[in-house]
Structure 1
Amino acid sequence: MSETFDVVIIGAGPGGYNCAIRCGQLGLKTAIIEKEATLGGTCLNVGCIPSKAMLHASELFDEAKNNFASLGIETGSVKLNLPQMLKQKEDAVKGLTDGVAFLMKKNKVKVFSGKGRIAGAGKVVVEGKDAAELSAKNIVIATGSVPTNLPNIEIDEERVVTSTGALSLSSVPKKMIVIGAGVIGLELGSVWSRLGAEVTVVEYLDRIIPGSDLEVAKAAQKILTKQGMTFKLGQKVTGVEKLKSKLKLTMEPAKGGASETIDADVVLVAIGRKPYTDGLGLETVGITPNQRGVIENNHFQTGAAGVWVIGDTTTGPMLAHKAEDDGAAVAELIAGKAGHVNYDLVPGVVYTSPEMAWVGKTEEDLKAAGVKYKVGKFPFMANSRARCNHTTDGFVKIIADASTDEVLGAHMIGVGVGEMIAEICVAMEFKASSEDIARTCHAHPTQSEAVRQAAMGVEGWTMQM
């Protein structure tokens, strides 16, 4: 006999496990299914968390090697112990995935290890270790996404890698080529650049970080170039040839022209991600993903009664924090409460050094829409704490409506801006004006004062410089 649940969630990534926790808190009998050995999905296991552990460690290595002496700290020879650096990454992952497993128990969520498959209305089959047939009043699809590959390029996760393989290289490559100048490519490329690799980033578009504010993107490219990374923009990759001792990547101008070949020891393919729905049984309930593989929704509900979809598998930005919000909202809707996610206020962060962060509209967006706006900008070079900390690269830009002064967007590049962007998210959620931020006291000296000064700059009364 099958066990009946109020909610069965397929996929235990940030969307799925947060949905499960909220369902448990709301008293819903809940089950979650995960095909991998540990909970947490891509984010905790081979994405956000291990990449941040490597970013942090590589930044400290770089600081110790290149900047400590100027601060009066003499350490002697600084050496890389890559096995230990990889181990501390795995330790961070294990601590957090174990934490998710604990939260499932705490909230009385039953975990099934195996691949979940919808088998008709209200039915889910688990194939694998915990094989079972489950009955569900509500099914939540939270299967996430997988890396997108290029045609005719074979991924082996050793020499030609996705983000997964790039997090576990056994040695520092002499030459690394990153295909794609998006978030993942720049973050992981910067890790291996700091550890000693010669990194070249190849991008189809004529800019890095598509969708971000153009001024921030240009500043980031300039800073990363200064740090040692090379950019080849407007280039279409046509193939990667595997030779015994090296790889040969061939590319040609995206707008047409002569091809060029460059050598590498490792090629990282980081051109984006696509929804993962393989073998999910969608056809049994009449769900058909669109041409991009996305399951569309109406307030998280699919076209099939009682079937919901969240996270990377559906519309909206493919970000862990967006998936978390989706999961909590769906749990509340199932429980008869109000559930909502404002996709206009999902922040984006690139965890390079320095970081990039943004929320809301870019200047390019507003120009295209014909919206009149005002801009305030403040450089970290003029910020007291940034000067003390020798972290003066970057700036904060705040964009407000020209007539109402409502904040329409904020775009930042600088150390710690991934934390600072939350202030703008809260302000925009409450329809704040630039003046509201400008008249809110910020502690001194902090780098967050640059946010206040940028807000002051919208009306032309910046007080530091």
Structure 2
Amino acid sequence: MSDKFDVIVIGAGPGGYVAAIRAAQLGLKTACVEKWVDDKGAAVLGGTCLNVGCIPSKALLESTHKFHDAKAHANVHGIQVGDVTMDVPQMVARKNQIVKNLTSGITGLFKANGVTLLQGMGKLLPGKQVEVTAADGSVSVHEAENVILASGSVPVEIPPAPLTEGLILDNAGALDIEETPKRLGVIGAGVIGLEMGSVWARLGTEVTVLEAMDDFLAAADKDVAKEAAKLFKKQNLDIRLGARVTGTEILDGKEVLVRYTDSEGDKEIVVDKLIVAVGRRPQTQGLLSADSGVKLDERGFIFVDEHCRTDAPGVYAIGDSVRGPMLAHKASEEGIMVADIIAGQHGHMNYDVIPNIIYTHPELAWVGKTEQQLKADGVKYKAGKFPFAATGRAMAANDTDGFVKVLACEETDRILGIHMVGGVASELIGQAVIAMEFCSSTEDLQMTIFAHPTVSEALHEAALAADGRAIHMANRKKR
């Protein structure tokens, strides 16, 4: 048995590494277990988000957005650029370098904060013991006062579309395509599907997205979903709803035949690459010994309470392996909350104000309740909406698509939800989260001074519009 730790974290993704750093900051002797290694055997920190998720996908989205902007919109500004081309291998190399820089940064943060890295596969045993199986097969057992499970999630695979190297890809494989495909198929019109579809559509690929659900972006506010569908159609994303994939076939080792069925019957398409993006599932297989005391539900999620405590004393679980949205920032904040609680502090996590973002262009972002949720709950509400097309800064940026929508309680004026479609919605949503975290009313936003000219004025005007007070557009007459 090795030295005893105050905290052992299993998993070094955005939940685990943040929890480990915070615990160490609080003076707790902390270790973090991570099984992921590179081709040289060095630890790979940052989890799915940093290595094959959030960060690399944003790098590709940023590159292709700049390319498309230069190709399609530079002339609006009077910029003559001639023939614009994309070096796809260089784009991918840049993405890889960004990932490398950030992963090495986490290694540096572990050293700076005194976090012990244990390389290998972590498994929780009874009595808060953690078994670590290294890459060479050697096994060590470590003891802790507290254990935080942060094992993350993995892509859901579907029998009709088994992964095939170079042709049928998951989210990781989709990030390493080094040649622009002529035709791309995407199964799933969620975050990953829309973002990866957008990357290649900007480079001229014919993109077909097959979504089994009949409703597009069912979790989003209906106005956001409707606006997004309209804009994606203009961007040549062919999104087919109610399309359930029934089978795939590799043709001559270089194409994929995709069979699917919709309301009109059986259909098929042929693509050069197929991305499977139908969601993710908790990565809890092999994480727990049978007598660990931690319970899973029928889908493999770990049971936890509102403070992320499991059924085993002193054992917590955070991130994608527990209830709630599978979002990196949710995992990180849960990690901080748990570390604070272990150290005897209060710990804070407000699940009602977790922002959701889809990094297409324009971006989609929201926090709080949607209009359809308020209607279903019988809540009397008021809504204010303001288009970016009416803001001077958006006009100057040639980025006027979308709007901001504010929903508030009609009786108390408290803000219940804010929803956006816009060029910088991912940054603007932070203002909305702050407002809701402090239980703001629309009056609070109405009385706040927003700088001019900025796109954030759309949030100000949407709050004013909730009471028919918008200045820079005609207000709807109240019935």
TM-score, structure 1 normalization: 0.98
Instruction: Indicate if the aligned counterparts of 2:295 and 2:310 stay in contact, CA closer than 8 A.
Output: no
Report the CA distance between 1:460 and its aligned residue: 0.4
Instruction: Indicate if the aligned counterparts of 2:363 and 2:423 stay in contact, CA closer than 8 A.
Output: yes
Instruction: Indicate if the aligned counterparts of 2:125 and 2:131 stay in contact, CA closer than 8 A.
Output: yes
Report the CA distance between 1:109 and its aligned residue: 0.3
| Structure 2 partner of 1:416 | 424
Instruction: Indicate if the aligned counterparts of 1:383 and 1:447 stay in contact, CA closer than 8 A.
Output: yes
Write the distance in 2 (CA, Å) between the matches of 1:80 and 1:302: 49
Instruction: Indicate if the aligned counterparts of 2:388 and 2:394 stay in contact, CA closer than 8 A.
Output: yes
Match of 1:116 among 115, 119, 122: 122
Matches within 5 A, 1:312-391: 312-391=320-399
1:77 paired to 2:116: no
Write the distance in 2 (CA, Å) between the matches of 1:272 and 1:12: 21
Write the distance in 2 (CA, Å) between the matches of 1:33 and 1:338: 26
| 1:123-173 deviation per Cα after TM superposition (whole angstroms, max 9, x unaligned) | 111111485221111111000000112123211242111110110012111
Report the CA distance between 1:70 and its aligned residue: 2.2
Secondary structure of the equivalent of 2:126? coil
1:398 paired to 2:406: yes
| Structure 2 partner of 1:271 | 278
Match of 1:98 among 95, 104, 110: 104
Report the CA distance between 1:207 and its aligned residue: 2.6
Instruction: Indicate if the aligned counterparts of 2:160 and 2:245 stay in contact, CA closer than 8 A.
Output: no
Report the CA distance between 1:210 and its aligned residue: 2.8
Write the distance in 2 (CA, Å) between the matches of 1:104 and 1:131: 23
| Structure 1 partner of 2:261 | 252
Write the distance in 1 (CA, Å) between the matches of 2:349 and 2:52: 26
Write the distance in 2 (CA, Å) between the matches of 1:415 and 1:383: 13
Secondary structure of the equivalent of 1:302? coil
| Structure 1 partner of 2:40 | none
1:169 paired to 2:206: no
Letter in 1 for 2:125: A
Letter in 2 for 1:167: L
Matches within 5 A, 1:26-41: 26-37=26-37, 38-41=44-47
Write the distance in 2 (CA, Å) between the matches of 1:210 and 1:116: 36
Report the CA distance between 1:282 and its aligned residue: 4.0
Write the distance in 1 (CA, Å) between the matches of 2:442 and 2:246: 47
Write the distance in 1 (CA, Å) between the matches of 2:31 and 2:86: 44
Report the CA distance between 1:257 and its aligned residue: 5.0
Identity value in percent? 48
Letter in 1 for 2:290: E
Match of 1:289 among 278, 285, 296: 296
Write the distance in 2 (CA, Å) between the matches of 1:308 and 1:352: 34
Report the CA distance between 1:209 and its aligned residue: 2.1
Match of 1:54 among 52, 57, 60: 60
Relative distance call for 1:462 and 1:282 in structure 2 (3 A) is farther
Letter in 1 for 2:60: M
Which stretch shows the higher mean deviation, 37-46 or 131-140? 131-140
Write the distance in 1 (CA, Å) between the matches of 2:352 and 2:288: 32
**Aligned-residue RMSD, C-alpha:** 1.1
Aligned residue pair count? 463
The gaps in structure 1 that reach 5 residues or longer are none
Letter in 2 for 1:335: A
Write the distance in 2 (CA, Å) between the matches of 1:392 and 1:108: 48
| Structure 2 partner of 1:10 | 10
Write the distance in 2 (CA, Å) between the matches of 1:282 and 1:423: 44
Match of 1:150 among 150, 158, 166: 158
| 1:424-458 deviation per Cα after TM superposition (whole angstroms, max 9, x unaligned) | 11111111101110110011000000000000000
Write the distance in 1 (CA, Å) between the matches of 2:121 and 2:145: 19
Matches within 5 A, 1:160-239: 160-239=168-247
TM-score, structure 2 normalization: 0.95
Which stretch shows the higher mean deviation, 390-399 or 72-81? 72-81
Letter in 2 for 1:251: Y
Letter in 2 for 1:22: R
| Structure 2 partner of 1:19 | 19
Letter in 2 for 1:45: N
| 1:200-246 deviation per Cα after TM superposition (whole angstroms, max 9, x unaligned) | 11111123223011110111111011011111101111111112131
1:461 paired to 2:469: yes
| 1:93-132 deviation per Cα after TM superposition (whole angstroms, max 9, x unaligned) | 1111111111111110000111111122221111114852
Letter in 2 for 1:91: Q
